Amino acid sequence: MKGTEKVFVLGDSRTGTTTLHQFLIRAGYNSIHYYFKESMVNEGCKTGLDENGVIIDNWVLLKRFIENSDYNAFSDYPTRTYFSELMVEYPNAFFILSRRKDLGTWQRSMTVFMRKFGLNIDIEALSDVYLRINESIRKEAEVRNIKFCEINIDDEDKKNSRALCDFLEIEPFLDIGHENKTQTYDPHTLSRRLSSFFGWK
């Protein structure tokens, strides 16, 4: 298992979180991606049910999962939702914010992605949330002086690979891939994600 410090990928949907997840696996991390079910965190709510059916705050459930699982890298939701708590609880961890090169690129990716499954979204409302959370992540990372790296997934592969390898101190050099393109996405997985897209207020 790679290292002792945890890695948290904080990017939103359509920003390469699956690609980063696969990169981390190839780098030797035991990584998990989009893990609401595994962590028992309840999407769109503040509480969830533990294995005994007891109502517990989602953050408590998430922290319990992180501490008791064998994983040391976590990407996508619910990681993004609890970025602030994670920065406080794991000040020595590595935090990676993935994004697109500009808002328009992210908007087009989200819109095409959703339309593939017959879904119309309020892209303007989602854009406000996307920008607001990204900026909050940057500000909190700066205030807390944590290990933080921002990746534009649209940059050249070699540039992103070098940035990640340097940030995570990975040797030898490892190339990033391109997983989870819209045309290869599993519709069943999409149905599990909808409340993540619309749950932020």
Tens of pLDDT along 136-171? 999 999 999 999 999 999 999 999 999 999 999 998
pTM across the whole model: 0.86
What does DSSP assign to residue 78? T
Beta strands at 55-57 and 47-49: parallel, antiparallel or unpaired: antiparallel
Contact 6, 74 (CB under 8 A): yes
Contact 39, 65 (CB under 8 A): yes
Q: Which residues contact 102 (CB under 8 A, 6 or more apart)?
A: none
Average pLDDT of the chain is 88
Higher-pLDDT residue of 160 and 54 is 160
Looking at residue 112, its pLDDT comes to: 94
Amino acid (1-letter code) at residue 163: A
Calculate mean pLDDT across residues 5-24.
Answer: 96
Please give the structure tokens belonging to residue 185. 């996405």
Pick the range with the lowest mean pLDDT from 32-46, 135-149, 175-189: 175-189
Q: Backbone phi, then psi, for 147, in 5-degree steps?
A: -80, 110
Closest by alpha carbon to 36, among 67, 74, 73, 1? Answer: 74
- For the cut 70, the answer to whether the pLDDT of residue 201 exceeds it is no
Higher-pLDDT residue of 70 and 187 is 70
Q: Backbone phi, then psi, for 123, in 5-degree steps?
A: -65, -30
Kindly list the structural domains of the chain, giving each domain's residue range(s) and its CATH number in brackets, ordered by start.
7-194 (3.40.50.300)
The model's confidence at residue 199, banded by pLDDT at 50, 70 and 90, is very low
The model's confidence at residue 200, banded by pLDDT at 50, 70 and 90, is very low
CA–CA separation, 90 vs 57, rounded Å? Answer: 19
Please give the structure tokens belonging to residue 163. 């940035």
- For the cut 60, the answer to whether the pLDDT of residue 35 exceeds it is yes
